[in-house]
Structure 1
Amino acid sequence: MDFIEFLWAYILVFLLSATPFLEACVVIPISIVAGLSPAPAIILGLVGNILTVLVVILFVNKIKEWRRRRKEGDVEKGESKRTKRAQNIWKKYGLPGLAIIGPMFVGSHLTAFMSISLGGTKKRTFYWMTISITLWTIVLTILAVLGIDLLGREDDGFLQNIFQ
């Protein structure tokens, strides 16, 4: 694989990690299984995911206003299952619990939005979401690396095979 192909692969890691519902904790292990170097993949994936969560946190009031305007014409259906589940987690474990548990069920972006909507401050939400994203990414990356080692495929990423 030449330099340009590697560069595009890492740019793709950044962009996919920044995409809601794909998340760094999913993209990074896949990129490592694909044969990319773990250190740059982890750094780029975390930065991409955390930056877009920060954007959600900073613009949460604009997002709420947009959702309110969008729902004005809709018939009120009540709270969704996701919202009820988030409220239950919030009541039981607070912001740290929702930040740690939420990304595995609804993604980090929606968890950040819900955390602020349920009463978390922007600063504390960003702090706990950064911890959560980093924690889940490290755990799932370690599992991916151990899985690669257990299979004896550490030097046989499928991206390397595709570009050859």
Structure 2
Amino acid sequence: MNMLDVVWGYILVFLLAAVPFFESAVVTPVAILAGLSAIPVFILAIGGNLITVYIVIVFIEKVKRWRKKEDDGKRTGRAKKIWDKYGLPGLTLLGPFFVGSHLTAFLALLFGGTKKQVSIWITISIAAWSLLLGLLVYFGIDWFNVENKFLENIFNQAQ
């Protein structure tokens, strides 16, 4: 990969991590598998995801009005069960896998969490899951000495 491809790769990591339901927990391992350096990937993926989640938290009142127009009973019901059983920490730590981090932050605020509490817990959750999944991929490939020829071939053919 040349330098321009690497730069575009990091820009793509940041942008995709900011997209709801795609997020940093998915982008981090994929970017590491694609051959990007782990530390910049962690920083950019977590940063991209957190920026858009913080926007949801800051503009919660407008998001509530917009969200009422959509019927999302199944996801909301799943999140409510987690909230009732585990509270704010449980919802923010488990929610990103069931409903995404953006909707988790919104529902945590809707169910009674404060902006400050939700911001702290969702930051912990996004960072922890991204780091955990990224480290598992990073060290898992290293431990098993597996080279990812498939992804390398895709990137080489695109040139």
Kept in 1, the 8 Å contact 2:91–2:108? The answer is yes
Task: Return the offset for 1:46.
Answer: 0.5
Q: Could you tell me how far apart the structure 2 residues matched to 1:25 and 1:37 are?
A: 16
Shift of 1:157: 7.8
Q: Which runs of 5+ in 1 are unaligned?
A: 72-76
TM-score, length of structure 2 as denominator length: 0.90
Q: Structure 1 residues 157 and 151 mapped into 2: Cα distance closer, same or farther (>3 Å)?
A: farther
Does structure 2 retain, via aligned residues, the 8 Å contact 1:100–1:132? yes
Counterpart amino acid of 1:67? R
- Mapped partners of 1:161, 1:88: distance in 2: 42
Structure 1 position 27, deviation (Å): 0.4
Task: Give, in angstroms, the shift of residue 156 of structure 1.
Answer: 5.8
Match of 2:104 in 1: 111
Paired position in structure 2 for 1:13? 13
* 2:78 aligned to which of 76, 80, 85: 85
Give 1:67 deviation, angstroms.
2.9
Moved segments of 4+, more than 2 Å = 153-161
**Structure with higher RCO (Cα < 8 A, 6+ apart):** 1
Q: Give the percent of matched residue pairs that are identical in Structure 1 and Structure 2.
A: 50
Distance 1:87 1:21 in 2: 18
In structure 1, the partner of 2:90 is 97
The root-mean-square deviation of aligned C-alpha atoms, in Å, is 2.0
1:136 to 117, 129, 138: 129
Structure-1-length-normalised TM-score: 0.87
Structure 2 residues not aligned, in runs of 5+? none
Q: After superposition, where does 1:44-55 map in structure 2 within 5 Å?
A: 44-55=44-55
Greater share of helix residues, 1 or 2? Answer: 2
Q: Deviations over 1:63-122 (max 9, x none)?
A: 111233x36xxxxx7x71221221121112111110001001111001001000101001
Deviates more, 1:107-116 or 1:136-145: 136-145
Task: Tell me how many residue pairs correspond in the alignment.
Answer: 157
Letter in 2 for 1:123: K
Q: 1: distance between equivalents of 2:129 and 2:154?
A: 28
**Partner letter of residue 38 of structure 1?**
A
Q: Is the 8 A contact 1:35 1:156 kept in 2?
A: no
CA distance in 2, matches of 1:82, 1:162: 36
